[in-house]
Structure 1
Amino acid sequence: MVIGALAGGVLGAMAPEAAQHVVVLGDLWIRMLQMLVVPLIISSIIQGVGSLGDIRHLGRLGGVTVAYYLITSGLAIILGMILVKLIQPGVGADITAAVAPLGTEAAVKHGWIDLLRGFISPNIFASATQGDLLPLVIFSLAFGAVLTTVGEKGQLVINIFEGIFAAIMKLVHLVMWIGPIGVFGLVAGRLAIAGGSEGIVALLVGLGLFTITVIVGLVIHAGISLGLILHLAGQRHPFTYMGFLGAALTSAFATASSSATLPLTMEGVERAGIRTRSSRFVLPIGATVNMDGSALYEAVAAVFIAQAWGIDLPVTALMALFIVATVSTIGAAGIPEAGLVTMVVVLQAVGLPLEGLGLLLAIDWLIDRFRTAVNVWGDAVGAAVVDRYVPG
């Protein structure tokens, strides 16, 4: 990805006219990702909700767990939005000659009534073809929840969607293999439009500020937000608790996979005194449902891309972004760069250009490691909170 971005930058700076002829490579790659969005969001959310088991029988254990996931994800997204609005990393990365893609301006001018109506669609198939993803998210949540209540037949359908999700992720992996070529075309084309070498400087400055914004947000969320929750709600000292999770957090940073780190996370929290009942319920679900780091990253990335394209997102668009970013992390695969896949969902839901992904891929491999470590830390904190508030 880095080589593709650098090569595209060199071509866009040195030969802008030639660079315009390779834009099609980036367009094709974006189309491949768009092709996978609808089956991905439906299958990921349904299998994610299905993994909770019968929602009628979750009781106190499930209720506290779900409440913790929603609260911490929401805090992460709000923090990310505040930081990206204050630092404004995308303003310095204006490489699009202030030209927003067709249709984007209209997409972000919805009022509150339009936002509420957007939750429900009379025809989810029409919404899918039009890229209107919010009603698909709502339907998938409701459908997945209902499936958990209809016994063996419902579980059979959940298993089918788990298989669909696994197949879609395999396709995503194949598309990511040719990602460097797509990034090459996207960066080269964008810099050619922006005016050559000046665009490279703007891009580097913007990406540098974007990286700083995300990492600062992750540190604040992990250290202050989750630290306070652990201290106040979990009644545990954050540094002492973190000491038991050293191996898990190191593994999360090294592998960028919360799923691969799950055994170490379970071992760490149990050595810290968390009951097996709590750890074995909270952590496996959290590895696919609770993604605080990814949620913060998606919020910052979406606003960053809007700033880079000169788009001012109104409050209603930010509300839609908050909802979709929160929900899209449900069922997100605990694998490297899974956040990029859900980013497609978030950008389409708010009406932002998917070409912005090309700006992020060159540095995503680094940020992914930080946000995965925060994801794992958030799961571990959740286990401590649930262990305290759920007796037995």
Structure 2
Amino acid sequence: MPINRSPPSQQLQLLTTPSSIPHCTSEPNLSSQTDIEQPNVTLRQKHSRSLFATKRRYLTKMPLQIRRNQCTSFLRDNLLTLLTVIGVLSGTLLGWGLRASGIEWSRRDVMYFQYPGELFLRMLKCLIVPLLVSSIVSAIGSLDLSLSGKVGLRAIIYYMTTTICAVMLGIALVTTIKPGNDPEAYAQPNITKKLITKDTLTSDTLLDLIRNVFPENIAQATIASYRTRLVYDQNDTKAIKGHLETYKIEGNYQSGSNVLGLVCFSIVLGITLGKMGEQSRPLQDFFHALSEAMMIITGWVIWLSPLGVFFLITAKIMEIDSFAELVGRLGLYFMTVLLGLFIHGFGTLSILFILATKKLPCRYIAKMGQVMATAFGTASSSATMPITIGCCDEMGLDPRITRFVIPIGATINMDGTALYEAVAAIFIAQLRKVDMSFGKIIAVSVTATAASIGAAGIPQAGLVTMVMVLDTVNLPAEDVSIILAVDWLLDRFRTTINVVCDALGAIIVTSLSQGDIEKTRALHNDRELAAAHELTELEKGEH
């Protein structure tokens, strides 16, 4: 019998062709086959099975190697994110373990636990001012003037839209769920309230917001913000105790960078350098180099984020007085805010993203793990700003747009804060049985939006802006103490939503501006070709 020396693939093809396999219209009758045919069929089946088995082993071996390479690549690319998430979970477990140990931890003990995390937070905050100024100046200076105007307008429209959507969502949830309809649960005698005194009016806070946009000293704006205080003067015959309108008006500076003023100054400086052309090239190169240097330093600092977040979370959980009591009193309010943040972060923002880019946001959000973990650990969108810019750079976005849009978003875009303040104000009104008419709800909406936009420019932003919203519905300032017990945890969730909104905004603005960027690039190339042609003609004329 001749031996078939054709390749196995051809043998497999021959064995699987219709001519090589008997055609059966019904079940085969094995009893009617001869003794010679049965061994041939058996050998053919065995040979066919061995070929199929060989090919199957070959095909299953390749995907296994590919999967191994993919897993290795995934771990290498997301190692820092995984370590940061592990830091958050480990800090949470250690915090609960230390609380359950039965040992009474003093404030100094908590400070010792928090100390490494505090150092990490100080490193990040140290980068905010130089990175913010250099990023905005270099980004606007390198963009065409008309393009920078369009990019800025699109960013502001996006941030205002998301903030208004967040406020409306928060009001809809709190008026539907009504978490404050059981005031007895919150009127327990063992609840201690911190005395919160009000030393300013809502109008003064709004005026301070505008004052801080135009700082009188740019160097002072890096370390302090202006704030109006109302002081009772006993020697003033016109002053009536308890009536703030009659108090003496004093203006002073409080520690904390005036971020709004720095952003405004940086935008104006960037536009000016862009109009100056080649004369401003040395200064533009300086700010560009400074921005790149800050990003390199950020790349070094963020490798400390797993440890920093670990100690920050551990210390914060150790500070909780009674988690069971906290959940029992404020559980429904807490879940209302959390539900609103979740719907806004993964519902509203996703819909806006799909409408603007015609793409699903899942792939981009999956790459923001490091940003979200750091935001949750630090509870500061400004401190997370360098990491947000780095994340957008890794996603391949235009660095000129990200360095322009992200600092503005970290300053004025506080969707989570706006939603939280709207829910908190109406929740406290429900506790106090204050009738919330449609006009008051509109007032809360406008005030919460304005307060969230100006939060970065106001010292002690969380307390001041919350008092400002409460004043809109004539609620006492000391009622803020009712919700302070869960504010530390909600602050971390709303900060996470804020930074996700900033990053998605950078992607949306980049997508919407892609056509303008191409037109500007083509126009710039045409100008360079025209200049080169003119230079060539001049050289020919000289010869």
Query: What SS does the corresponding residue of 1:90 show, helix, strand or coil?
Result: coil
Which residue matches 1:65? 155
The secondary structure found in structure 1 opposite 2:359 is: coil
Q: CA deviation at 1:338?
A: 4.4
Report sequence identity in percent.
40
Residue number among 359, 366, 369 corresponding to 2:489 in the alignment: 366
Partners of 1:325 and 1:276 in 2: CA distance: 32
CA distance in 2, matches of 1:158, 1:336: 17
Task: Tell me the equivalent position of 2:364.
Answer: 241
Deviates more, 1:69-78 or 1:307-316: 307-316
Q: Hey, what's the Cα distance between the residues in 2 that align with 1:336 and 1:132?
A: 15
Task: Show the counterpart of 2:442.
Answer: 319
Pair 1:328 & 2:451 matched = yes
Residue 165 of structure 1 is matched in structure 2 by 225
Q: Give the whole-Å Cα distance in 2 for the aligned partners of 1:337 and 1:157.
A: 21
> What amino acid is the match of 2:347?
I
Shift of residue 341, structure 1, vs aligned partner: 3.7
Q: Which residue of 2 aligns with 1:259?
A: 382
Q: What displacement does 1:365 show?
A: 1.1
Separation in structure 2 between the aligned mates of residue 335 and residue 389 of structure 1, nearest angstrom: 32
Which secondary structure state, in structure 1, belongs to the residue aligned with residue 456 of structure 2? coil
Give the AA of the match of 2:254: I
User: Which residue of 1 is the match for residue 349 of structure 2?
Assistant: 226
Distance 2:368 2:459 in 1: 20
Q: Deviations over 1:278-308 (max 9, x none)?
A: 1101111111210001110000011111111
CA distance 1:334–1:161, change in 2 (3 Å): closer
Find 2:409's aligned residue among 278, 286, 307: 286
Q: Which amino acid aligns with 1:75?
A: C
Within 5 Å, give how 1:135-154 maps onto structure 2. 135-136=203-204, 139=207, 147=214
Q: CA RMSD in A?
A: 3.5
**Alignment-mate amino acid for residue 81 of structure 1:** I
Aligned with residue 303 of structure 1, among 418, 422, 426: 426
Answer whether contact 1:253 1:369 (CA < 8 A) is retained.
yes
SS at match of 1:364: helix
Question: Does the CA-based 8 Å contact 2:376-2:496 persist in structure 1?
Answer: yes
Aligned-partner Cα distance in 2 for 1:272–1:279: 11
Larger radius of gyration: 2
C-alpha contact 1:257 1:336 (8 A) present in aligned 2: no
Q: Which amino acid aligns with 1:254?
A: G
Counterparts of 2:447 and 2:359, CA distance in 1:
32
SS of equivalent to 2:225: helix
Given that 1:65 and 1:282 are in contact with CA atoms closer than 8 Å, whether structure 2 keeps it comes out as yes
| CA displacement, residues 324-344 of structure 1 (integer Å, 9 cap, x when unaligned) | 111111242399984344212
The CA deviation at 1:93 is 3.1
Deviations 1:160-209 (A, max 9, x none): 56644285356xxxxxxxxxxxx99xxxxxxxxxxxxxxx98x8545100
Q: Structure 1 residues 239 and 281, CA, compared in 2 at 3 Å: closer, same or farther? A: same
Instruction: Note closer, same or farther for the CA distance 1:159–1:66 as it changes in structure 2 (3 Å cut).
Output: farther
Q: Size of the alignment, in residue pairs?
A: 275
Q: Highest relative contact order (Cα 8 Å, sep 6+), 1 or 2?
A: 1
SS at match of 2:364: helix
- Aligned equivalent of 2:175, options 77, 85, 88: 85
| 5+ residue gaps, structure 1 | 1-47, 98-127, 148-154, 171-182, 185-199
Task: State the SS of the aligned residue for 1:274.
Answer: coil
Give the Cα separation in 2 of the matches to 1:284 and 1:268. 14
1:158–1:329: structure 2 CA closer, same or farther, 3 Å change rule? Answer: farther
Q: Give the conservation status (yes or no) of the 8 Å contact 2:401–2:506.
A: yes
- Determine if contact 2:225/2:458 at 8 Å carries over to the other structure: no
Rounded Cα–Cα distance in structure 2 between residues aligned with 1:359 and 1:340: 12
Cα gap change, 1:261 to 1:141, in 2 (>3 Å): closer
Contact 1:92 1:205 in 2 (8 A): no
**Aligned partners of 1:52, 1:346: CA distance in 2, in Å?**
31
How big is each residue's C-alpha offset from its partner over 1:91-150, in whole Å with a ceiling of 9 and x where there is no partner?
1234469xxxxxxxxxxxxxxxxxxxxxxxxxxxxxx98x552x44664566667x4xxx
Q: Which amino acid aligns with 1:348?
A: D
TM-score (norm 1): 0.62
Name the TM-score, length of structure 2 as normaliser: 0.46
Report if the CA contact (8 A) 1:69-1:290 is conserved. Answer: yes
